């Protein structure tokens, strides 16, 4: 059995951090359903889940024609009042019949896509993370984009973000293994905006797995954004004041958001621990943070030297 998903992450189109009450209103995407939220260890809100029916080909490496019918789950989340995510996921299981069934059958199994025809699990898993979605293949990223766009165009946002940064995409596939087997994760940076992960784990909870992938996508976007800001600051080239001005968005909007695994299910923590060993997300983040703080400290000392004479 496989669980497939794609998470898109980007900056909320507002000049300042939105308060929790605004996040709750922006994420009220399903009438009558509650927006879940928390304030510790950091402000976080997630929309109610929304189902989308799909009837399409599933991507395969072998190009085998495998049809999938069912529903996928999508939701949006706002972290720290600044970062918006759109997430879509579904379970892929072998169909109960080798034919298309009435929609009532699929609606009774929310978040499940059933295969019609012979399907190889590894072929599907490799195809999903390695193949660029194209019609009529399953495209979970398009649904994630749509739910993000719905939030971005809502009333109450001034659409003047403090800086520009492209959305990143995390496409993920999880193979659910038998209990007792060691968890495995493979993380790849495919290009400037696309990352893929393949996971093997004995946790049979698609929502917990999706939450882990959303947390990973969030911190990958934060790290990618911080790298971009530091690179564009041109440290060592030009005046110190200009460098600090270019680093200011990181100081004002990003540094306080780094809290990996704060909302990850305990059973999935070994996956984060593996990523912290290699590629070492927090090590790289902390190195960049220290570099920024060094620039701020040197700038402060330089200013004090100019005002009060020699500093000892």
pLDDT tens-digit profile of 81-109? Answer: 999 999 999 999 999 888 999 999 999 99
Res 134: pLDDT: 67
* CA 87 to mean position of chain CA atoms: 7
Q: What's the 3-state SS for 98-112?
A: CCCCCHHHHHCCCCE
Token couple for 221: 């976007």
pLDDT of residue 286: 97
C-beta of residue 48 within 8 angstroms of C-beta of residue 197: no
State the pLDDT at residue 309. Answer: 45
Task: Say how many C-beta atoms besides its own lie within 10 A of residue 15's C-beta.
Answer: 12
Task: Identify the CA nearest to 173 among candidates 112, 116, 91.
Answer: 91
Question: Which residues of the chain are under the pLDDT cut of 50?
Answer: 309-312
Sorted by sequence, the CB contacts under 8 Å of residue 218 that are 6+ apart come out as: 9, 79, 83, 85, 257
199, containing H or E segment: strand 194-201
């Amino acid at each position: 059995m496989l669980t497939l998903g794609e998470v898109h992450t980007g900056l909320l189109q507002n000049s300042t951090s939105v308060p929790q009450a605004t996040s709750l209103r922006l994420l009220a995407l399903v009438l009558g359903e509650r927006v879940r939220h928390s304030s510790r260890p950091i402000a976080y809100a997630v929309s109610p889940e929304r189902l989308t029916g799909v009837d399409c080909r599933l991507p395969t490496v072998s190009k085998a024609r495998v049809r999938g019918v069912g529903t996928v789950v999508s939701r949006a989340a706002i972290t720290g009042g600044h970062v918006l995510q759109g997430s879509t996921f579904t379970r892929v299981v072998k169909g109960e019949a080798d034919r298309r069934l009435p929609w009532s059958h699929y609606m009774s199994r929310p978040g499940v896509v059933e295969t019609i025809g012979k399907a190889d699990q590894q072929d599907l898993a490799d195809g999903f993370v390695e193949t660029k979605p194209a019609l009529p293949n399953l495209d979970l990223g398009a649904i994630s984009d749509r739910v993000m766009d719905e939030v971005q165009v809502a009333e109450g946002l001034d659409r003047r973000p403090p800086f520009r940064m492209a959305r990143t995409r995390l496409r993920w596939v999880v193979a659910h293994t038998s209990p007792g087997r060691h968890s495995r994760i493979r993380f790849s940076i495919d290009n400037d905006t696309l990352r893929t992960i393949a996971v093997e784990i004995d946790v049979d909870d698609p929502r917990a797995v999706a939450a882990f992938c959303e947390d990973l996508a969030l911190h990958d976007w934060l790290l990618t954004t911080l790298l971009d800001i530091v690179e564009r600051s041109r440290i060592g080239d030009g005046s110190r004041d200009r460098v600090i001005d270019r680093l200011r968005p990181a100081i004002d909007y990003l540094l306080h958001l780094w809290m990996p695994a704060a909302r990850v299910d305990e059973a999935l923590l070994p996956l984060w621990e593996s990523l912290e060993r290699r590629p070492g997300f927090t090590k790289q983040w902390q190195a960049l943070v220290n570099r920024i703080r060094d620039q701020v400290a040197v700038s402060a000392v330089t200013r004090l030297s100019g005002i009060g004479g020699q500093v000892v």
